Chains A and B, each alone.
Chain A
Amino acid sequence: MHSTALFLPSCMMIIFLILLYPVLTTFNPNPLHPDWALTKTKTAIKLAFFTSLIPLFLLFDQGAEAIVTTWSWTNTMTFDISINFKFDSYSCIFTPVALYVTWSILEFASWYMHSDPQMNRFFKYLLIFLIAMIILVTANNMFQLFIGWEGVGIMSFLLIGWWYGRTDANTAALQAVLYNRIGDIGLILMMTWTATHLNSWDLQQMFILSNNYDLTLPLLGLILAATGKSAQFSLHPWLPSAMEGPTPVSALLHSSTMVVAGIFLLIRLNPMLENNKIALTTCLCLGALTTLFTAICALTQNDIKKIVAFSTSSQLGLMMVTIGLNQPQLAFLHICTHAFFKAMLFLCSGSIIHSLNDEQDIRKMGGMHHLTPFTSSCLTIGSLALTGTPFLAGFFSKDAIIEALNTSYLNAWALTLTLIATSFTAAYSLRIVFFVSMNHPRFNPLPPINENNPSVINPIKRLALGSIIAGFIITLNILPLNTPPMTMPTTLKLAALIVTILGLFTALELASLSSKQFKQTPNPNPHHFSNMLGFFPHIMHRLTPQANLTLGQAIATQTIDQAWLEKSGPKAIYSLSLRPITTTSNIQQGMIKTYLSLFFLTTLITLTILMF
């Protein structure tokens, strides 16, 4: 057998075993070695990363992909579910990226969480999350994908609520689970439709058989699933709330891996999506709305983690737009490049937060460039990559997406919104850098702010390297599925750059206005809309639960009893018959003799008529 065909699946399966081993070592009753997190877990991830490079190189060099079917789970006469892995370009590229980012984050977490009494458990949770994520991306049938989907959802809940003594963290974890559950309705709808119509949950069979059907319903279910998991507009509030979790959690789950699961699902199922105009338009419009709305919200936030969270949400909207343009490869490229610079932004934020004694408000930071030059430089590099600076990682994906947008036949408003959101990206990125790194410190001098710990610097260094070269490397080595537009007017080619620079200059101008006052009384309405997140959480998180809970209780305890017993049952008989009874008894005038004689007379006449 060809050695490539053996190597690729073998390496990927070995990765599963390498990652599972530390989790299995926790299943004995003895307490773990205090060094377990560093020695076992981080080493396992590092080893798994280097192992995953072999399939990556095989893919790049030979275009090798593999599908592996192992154990038969259930087999009825007509329906098979087996453990089925698909090691195609998407999973073979995503796995090393995810492992690289996780390796850096775990090393950072060994510093960030070193004073936490449950650090070993924290690393175990992160490891289980990673295993679930890899199950998700390598799944070749919907059942396995669903296992990974739910797995990442549960680990997200456990990790957001890591500091469970804090009510806000519990609320945020609950929020994440509930919003994801609403999305799961869509996924399960799609799975049931597929099981009943296409008789299989295998991706290959689904794609072949789906050409004859009208797929609007399952595809809308899929889009609902992606809306929930990837925080698109209407199911988005859980993502900024998820910042209640520790920074390594935010860096791994809520920027690089878990939130892209929804987009990844749409990428995997793109063959079903590409012929359905309604689904594509929905993706496009929803993505455009999300990217602009969350960019608006990011403009006035003061918590550094929230700004980065909204930035993530905005980029997820951009990925959704790309899917709506029928360009799954570009969306996947953006997933990979975004993982690097977003994780780096979170790690830099975490380093700054910890150095400033857990201060997260950017209005109380400043001058960090003098105090932590490496971290603030990497913050700048990450922000530049995010805005799509030419030839950094973000450029290859973002610029390609905007070029595809400009040259496609699409909804003009979606195009406008995406371009506006691109300029807002530059604005809020500058906001972070301006408030954190530039000017003078706005906090009291604290005991040593330093960058001496290699556990902090090396991960950020690695991710910075990734943010610079990853886009280039991946673009060089994958073949495009669609012919990219070869010619376009210069303005369209430079459009992304122009709007970004516009946004940057506007933000710089606004920053210089922060020491001047032009109006006597400011107009707070736009600021309120942006700062209170479009009022969406306020309205939805108060109206919906209040209506559901009060209605539920009122119906269950009072209304049912009242309806059945009083308005339509025994008491209703009583109240309805009260009027006729009173009327009848009031009509009675007590003339018994007259009534009796009338009765006998009537009876006599009737009998006489009957006899004759």
Chain B
Amino acid sequence: MSGASLKLGCVHVHYCFQKCIFIAVSASGATKDSLPGAYPKTPEERAAAAKKYNLRVEDYEPYPDNGEGFGDYPKLQDRSQHERDPWYKWDHPDLRRNWGEPMHWNFDMYLRTRVDTSPSPVPWSTMWKQLFGFVGFMLFMFYMGEKFPSYQPIAPKQYPYNNLYLEKGGDPAKAPEEVKNYEI
């Protein structure tokens, strides 16, 4: 077993003198006990799972057992790291997290460079309605603007000499009609 190392563990024995025991523990990876397990059915299993995840038994709430494969992983609040106090002295200040804290199932979504769930000053439904109302109104008005475009007043083009009667294929034998392109 590579990476095996000796860890020194001191046990305080009941008769008030310390007895040191050598414990051999692998220094690579998580132990089998700390990995997530099956959905906890009995109160003892719940307590053990809560301890494993560093939660209080009252706070521990697993995901519902509906076949989605969550096991005993705790269901933490869906709040992102943006909402945590920026001035508190976290162990990892950039992640706003303390050592040993249970990680959210979607922790990589709740980073400070991803989704922000902080409360907005304006309720979500108001925001949604106003934005899509604005865009919908604009699209509708653009449609109306296409139907009723704006342009400067124009008239058909005027040519000299009977509006180019001969050039436009008029009959040379017939007398062309009088064309008046001006008004005095």
Contacts and interface: CB of A to CB of B under 8 A. Distances in A.
Contacts of A415: 145, 150
B149 interface: yes
B138 interface: yes
7 contacts: A171-B112, A174-B113, A413-B144, A532-B120, A536-B131, A549-B114, A562-B69
A549 B148 CA distance: 44
A488 interface: yes
B142 A414 contact: yes
Interface residues of B, number: 32
A408 interface: yes
Given A413-B141, A528-B121, A535-B127, 6 more contacts: A167-B113, A413-B144, A414-B145, A535-B131, A538-B127, A549-B114
A286 B68 CA distance: 44
Max chain B CB contacts within 10 Å: which of A538, A545, A553? A538
A242 to B, nearest CB: 15
Contacts of B130: 525, 529, 534-535
B40 to A, nearest CB: 19
Nearest to A172: B113
Contacts of A412: 144-145, 148-150
Nearest to B95: A167
The DSSP consensus for interface residues of chain B is: loop
B151 A409 contact: yes
Contacts of A553: 106
B16 interface: no
B115 A542 contact: yes
A542 B109 CA distance: 10
Nearest to A545: B115
Interface of B: 67-69, 94, 106, 108-109, 112-117, 120-122, 127-128, 130-131, 134, 138, 141-142, 144-146, 148-152
A107 B95 CA distance: 38
A545 B113 CA distance: 11
Nearest to B105: A553
A302 to B, nearest CB: 14
Interface string A536-560: 1011011001100110011001100
Interface string A140-177: 00000000000000000000000000010011001000
Given A174-B113, A289-B138, A557-B69, A409 B131 contact: no
A409 B149 contact: yes
Interface of A: 167, 170-171, 174, 281, 285, 289, 406-416, 488, 492, 525, 528-529, 532, 534-536, 538-539, 541-542, 545-546, 549-550, 553-554, 557-558, 561-562, 566
B127 A539 contact: yes
Contacts of B141: 413
Contacts of A167: 94, 112-113
A566 B69 CA distance: 12
A562 B67 contact: yes
B104 to A, nearest CB: 12
Contacts, number: 93
A532 B109 contact: no
Contact of A532 (B115, B122, B148): B122
Nearest to B150: A412
Contacts of B113: 167, 170-171, 174
B108 to A, nearest CB: 8
Contact of B69 (A413, A550, A561): A561
Nearest to A411: B145
A545 B109 contact: yes
Contacts of A535: 122, 127-128, 130-131
A569 to B, nearest CB: 13
A549 B106 contact: yes
B128 A566 contact: no
A528 B152 contact: no
Contacts of A285: 142, 145
A170 B113 CA distance: 7
Contacts of A539: 127-128, 131
Contact of A546 (B115, B128, B148, B151): B115
A409 B146 CA distance: 10
A488 B94 CA distance: 61
A170 B134 CA distance: 31
A542 B128 CA distance: 12
B9 to A, nearest CB: 37
B61 to A, nearest CB: 19
B69 A558 contact: yes
Contact of B152 (A488, A549, A561): A488
Contact of B120 (A416, A538, A550): A538
Contacts of A174: 113
Contacts of B68: 554, 558, 562
A410 B151 CA distance: 7
A534 B120 contact: no
Contact of B145 (A407, A413, A528): A413
Contacts of B128: 535, 539
Nearest to B132: A539
A50 B101 CA distance: 61
Nearest to A488: B152
Nearest to B120: A538
Contacts of B114: 545, 549
A555 to B, nearest CB: 12
